[in-house]
Chain A
Amino acid sequence: MRQARFATFAAGAAVVALTVAGCSPSDTADDDGPVTLKLTIDQDMETLFPGDSGNADNIAILDVVYDGLVRYDPETTEPYNYVAESIESEDNVVWTIKIKPDLTFQNGEPVDAAAFARSWNYTAGHSELYSNYFFERFKGYEEMQDELDDDGNIAEENSVEELSGLTVVDDLTLEVELTAPFAGFSTMLGYTGFFPVAEECLADVEACAVTPIGNGPFQVTEWDQGVAVDAQRWEDYPLDETPEGVDAINWREYSGASSWADFEAGDIDVSYPAPADLAAAQEDPELSERLAQAPGAALTYIAFPLYEGGPWQDKEFRKAISLAIDRDTIIDQLSGGLATPADSWVVPDGVPGGEAGTCEWCTFDPDAAKAALEEAGGWPEGETLTIGLSDDETEIEYFKAIGDSIEANLDIPYELKPNPDFFTIRSEHGFDGIFRNNWFPDYPLNENYLSFYAVGEEGAGNFGWYSEEFEDKLAEGDQAPTLDEAVVKYQEAEAILADEFPTIPFRFNAGAEYYSERLDDVVLDPFSGAVRVRELTVTE
Chain B
Amino acid sequence: MGRYVLRRVVQAVGMLFLVMFVLHLLTTLAIQLNGNPALAFFGDKIPSPAQVAAVEQRFGLDDPCYDQPGNPCLGPFAERLGQYAQGDLGTNLRGREVTDIVAAAAPNTLRLFVMVTITWLVLGMVLGSVAARWRGSPSDHGIRLTSVLIDALPVFVLLLVYKEIVTVPLSGWAKDTFGEDSWPPYWFKPSFDPEHPWATVAVPGILLGLAGSAAFIRLVRASQLESYGGDHVRTARSKGLGEGRVVVHHVVRNSSIPVVTAVGLTFAEALSGAVITEGIMNIYGMGGVLWDAVQSSDVGLVLGIVTILTAVTVVVMIVVDIAYAALDPRIRYE
Task: State the A residues within 8 Å of B (CB).
Answer: 1-2, 5, 9, 12-13, 16, 19-22, 24-28, 44, 46-47, 54, 126-128, 130, 132-133, 136, 145-146, 148, 151-154, 206, 224-228, 252-257, 259, 261-262, 264-267, 277, 419-421, 423-425, 427-428, 437-440, 452, 461-462
Contacts and interface: CB of A to CB of B under 8 A. Distances in A.
A424 B34 contact: yes
A257 B292 contact: no
A128 B194 contact: no
B156 to A, nearest CB: 12
A224 B172 CA distance: 28
Contact of A267 (B64, B187, B189, B327): B189
B134 to A, nearest CB: 22
B187 A437 contact: no
Given A44-B292, A225-B104, A424-B40, A153 B189 contact: no
Contact of A227 (B48, B94, B104, B198): B104
B202 interface: yes
B164 A277 contact: yes
Interface in B102-119: 104-105, 114-115, 118
A254 B199 CA distance: 19
A277 B190 CA distance: 15
Given A127-B50, A257-B280, A267-B191, A154 B40 contact: no
Contact of A25 (B47, B183, B279, B280): B183
13 contacts: A16-B198, A16-B202, A24-B181, A128-B51, A128-B57, A133-B45, A206-B95, A226-B101, A257-B191, A257-B280, A265-B189, A437-B44, A438-B44
A262 B103 CA distance: 26
B114 A12 contact: yes
Given A25-B181, A28-B181, A225-B96, A148 B53 contact: yes
B1 interface: no
A153 B34 contact: no
A264 B199 CA distance: 19
The 5 closest A-B pairs by CB, nearest first: A424-B35, A261-B190, A127-B54, A421-B34, A257-B282
Contact of A226 (B41, B48, B104): B104
B282 A254 contact: yes
A262 B191 CA distance: 7
A153 B53 contact: yes
A262 B189 contact: yes
A2 B253 contact: yes
Nearest to B50: A145
B58 interface: yes
Nearest to A461: B46
Contacts of A452: 45-46
A154 to B, nearest CB: 5
Contacts of A24: 181-183
Interface string B39-72: 1111111111111111111100010100100000
B46 A16 contact: no
Nearest to A21: B183
Interface string B292-334: 1001000000000000000000000000000000110000000
Given A267-B193, A421-B40, 6 more contacts: A1-B327, A127-B54, A206-B95, A261-B191, A420-B34, A462-B46
Nearest to B43: A423
Nearest to B195: A27
A12 B118 contact: yes
Contacts of B122: 13
A265 B190 contact: yes
Contacts of A145: 48, 50
Contacts of B284: 226-227, 253
A68 B53 CA distance: 30
Contact of A154 (B53, B171, B195): B53
B101 A424 contact: no
B51 A133 contact: yes
B53 A127 contact: yes
Contact of B51 (A44, A132, A420, A461): A132
B51 A127 contact: yes
B163 A151 contact: no
Given A28-B180, A228-B194, A421-B35, A154 B54 contact: yes
B278 to A, nearest CB: 9
Contacts of B43: 54, 423
B224 interface: no
B135 interface: no
Contacts of A425: 35
A277 B165 CA distance: 11
B168 interface: yes
A148 B50 CA distance: 7
A123 B327 CA distance: 63
A336 to B, nearest CB: 16
Given A128-B55, A226-B289, A423 B104 contact: no
Contacts of A132: 51, 54
Contacts of A133: 45, 47-48, 51
B118 A126 contact: no
A1 B115 CA distance: 24
Given A44-B292, A128-B57, A154-B53, A2 B249 contact: yes
A47 B48 contact: no
A13 B202 CA distance: 11
B196 interface: yes
B186 interface: yes
Nearest to B196: A25
A151 B190 contact: no
Nearest to B197: A19
B89 interface: no
Contacts of B130: none
A339 B289 CA distance: 31
A27 B100 CA distance: 26
B39 A423 contact: yes
A19 B121 CA distance: 20
B167 interface: yes
Contacts of A224: 104, 194
Contacts of B128: none
B36 interface: yes
Contacts of B53: 127, 146, 148, 152-154
Contacts of B114: 12, 16
A257 B281 contact: yes
B195 A261 contact: no
Contacts of B264: none
A127 B41 CA distance: 12
Contacts of A148: 49-50, 53
A153 B64 contact: yes
B288 interface: yes
A437 B105 CA distance: 34
Contacts of B96: 46, 225
A232 to B, nearest CB: 16
Nearest to A29: B180
B189 A151 contact: no
A457 B281 CA distance: 50
Contacts of A277: 164
Contacts of B202: 16, 20
Contacts of A128: 51, 54-55, 57-58
Given A25-B186, A428-B35, A20 B199 contact: yes
A420 B289 CA distance: 17
A255 B288 contact: yes
A420 B47 contact: no
Contacts of A136: 48
Nearest to B92: A46
A261 B198 contact: no
Contacts of B44: 437-440
B323 to A, nearest CB: 9
A505 to B, nearest CB: 15
Contact of A152 (B52, B94, B183): B52
Contact of B167 (A47, A265, A437): A265
